[in-house]
Amino acid sequence: MEFSQAIQRCKRGDPAAQKHLFNLYAEPMFLLCRRYVRNREDAEERMLNGFLRFFRTIARFRDEGQGTAAPWLRRIMINECLMFLRSSRQLSIVPADGGQELPIDEDILSSMQAGELYALILDLPPGYRTVFNLYVLDGLSHPEIACALGISEGTSRSQLRKARSWLQRMVLRNETVRRTPQIPPR
Amino acid sequence: MTSHPHSDKLLRNKIARFEATSPAGLDKARAWESLRPRLRRRRPLLRYAAAALLLLAAGMAHFRRPGAPPAQAPAAANFPVHARPPARDVAGDQPLAVTQRTPSLARTRPAAARSSGNTPPKKKAEAVVKESQAVLAGQLPENEPKAGEDGGQNPAGAPPPTAPEATPAPRRLPVVRLHELPGAAGAPATPAAEGLRIRLPGGEGQPAVASSGPAGPLIHLPLNAKP
């Protein structure tokens, strides 16, 4: 089934087209939700809620090709995750100053596997992780993040700074462990 | 704060590629089966809104009488005095009768002097009520001198005319419009400190409609009362 055809049929409520789109986007959206909501079951529930909202509001979507539906769906998923984090009070962001920002070494980043980086991001504390995800990986600006999370722009910047520092330390530690020669057991 | 566009872009590309291509270990068939019934279900809010609209429509159809005007004019008391339409009584064809007192005298004179002649105030009030009943019954002309107000020529002790049997009528409150009251046209009715005493006759052969009795009440309308 062609993508634009699937969108048109979804607008008419065709279950086969809905299943087609679900199968196409379920795994990427699940991984996206896990970046925000670390718990696997919670992330799956957010993904399902996001698809539910997507199919209910798809009549308002103006089909301009496959490249336009995916960002819209991603934004729906991100909003679902943010609503969940706010309602479950997992998102406790304490405004704090200070903290020296360490630039992440690009060479180390290039050498790392994407899965390793993904796992490191999941290990960030929820506040740092949310701001880092929104700014670095999903491209929101600080005013947008401040509006979405109900914090000030300064808090958003400081959370991002701390997240970078944290991630840099983790990347360096990971690199150190990887380069340490393994001592064979006697 | 320094920005790191290169490292950010590198990180973004890596993560985006990872999310697009890596298996997430998600059981898509099971997830779809849990999503499918929720897609069929209608929103409860829409159902509640539809039910509320139906109830509202049914209620409006029930309470609206056939042939009734769509809306009533607001109460006359809410109009400013100069803007009120002509007054009509219950039957709609008789102007309302009114007796008007000089307010400054009523306020400044003592109680004994306020009642004209030697008539005690209580007796005078009873006479006024009886007289108004007689007017309502059509036994006295409306502009005849009132008891106790004509220097004692028609004392309050005279036997009052009896009111006719009141036939039950629909309880509709009359609309009182001040600028149409007799004695008040063209000039300020009374100084603001006093007010008007208004007799509210019913229509011809109709009892008065206020709750104070079949003969109709004497209503005191203080003009300085705020709406």
Concatenating the DSSP letter of every residue in B8-65 gives HHHHHHHHHHHHHHS-----HHHHHHHHHHHHHSPPHHHHHHHHHHHHHHHHHHHHSP
The residue type at A121: I
Query: What local confidence, expressed as pLDDT, does residue A111 receive?
Result: 78
For chain A, counts of helices (H) and of strands (E): 9, 0
Residue B150: band (very low, low, confident or very high) from pLDDT cuts 50, 70, 90: very low
A109 vs B7, B17, B39: nearest CB:
B7
A118 vs B1, B4, B18: nearest CB:
B18
Query: What local confidence, expressed as pLDDT, does residue A13 receive?
Result: 84
ipTM over 0.85: no
> Residues B116-140: what's their mean pLDDT?
70
Which residues on chain B are in Cβ contact (under 8 Å) with A110?
Answer: 10
Whether A31 sits inside 8 A of B18 (CB atoms) is: yes
Rounded CA separation B179/B185 (Å): 6
> Residues B155-166: what's their mean pLDDT?
53
Q: Which of 24-83 (A) contact B at CB < 8 A?
A: 26-28, 30-32, 34-35, 44, 47-48, 51-52, 55-56
**Could you tell me how many CB contacts below 8 A there are between chain A and chain B?**
90
Query: What local confidence, expressed as pLDDT, does residue A45 receive?
Result: 93
Per the model's pLDDT, the better-predicted residue between A33 and A181 turns out to be A33
B54 to chain A, closest Cα gap in Å: 25
Rounded CA separation B123/B158 (Å): 11
Query: What local confidence, expressed as pLDDT, does residue A75 receive?
Result: 92
Which residues on chain B are in Cβ contact (under 8 Å) with A115?
Answer: 18, 22
